[in-house]
């Protein structure tokens, strides 16, 4: 059975695919805001994290610097 056929017939696969696409499109917006709060100005970080689905956000969330108490 092909992915397209399962996508049309199985609700779980349909919803999970749409979730993945929506979150992949939404994450760069949240990433830009988070980078601004943490003082990261390097656009290469933004694009490398945004263009690597799953792995990019995982690495960013694991390695990002903490927010200073003065920025809260």
- The 8-class DSSP code of residue 52 comes to S
To the question of pTM greater than 0.75 for the whole model, the response is no
Residue ranges covered by each domain of the chain = 3-71
For residues 45 and 68, the model is more confident at 45
Give the pLDDT band (50/70/90) at residue 67: confident
What confidence score (pLDDT) does residue 68 get? 75
Contact 57, 64 (CB under 8 A): no
Q: What confidence tens digit (pLDDT) does each residue in 13-57 have?
A: 999 999 999 988 999 999 999 999 998 999 999 999 999 988 999
Contact 35, 28 (CB under 8 A): no
């Amino acid at each position: 059975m092909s992915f397209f056929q399962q996508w049309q017939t199985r609700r779980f696969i349909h919803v999970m695919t749409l979730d993945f696409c929506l979150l992949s499109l939404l994450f760069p917006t949240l990433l830009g805001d988070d980078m601004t709060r943490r003082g990261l100005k390097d656009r290469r970080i933004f694009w490398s994290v945004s263009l690597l689905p799953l792995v990019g956000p995982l690495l960013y969330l694991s390695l990002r610097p903490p927010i200073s108490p003065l920025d809260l």
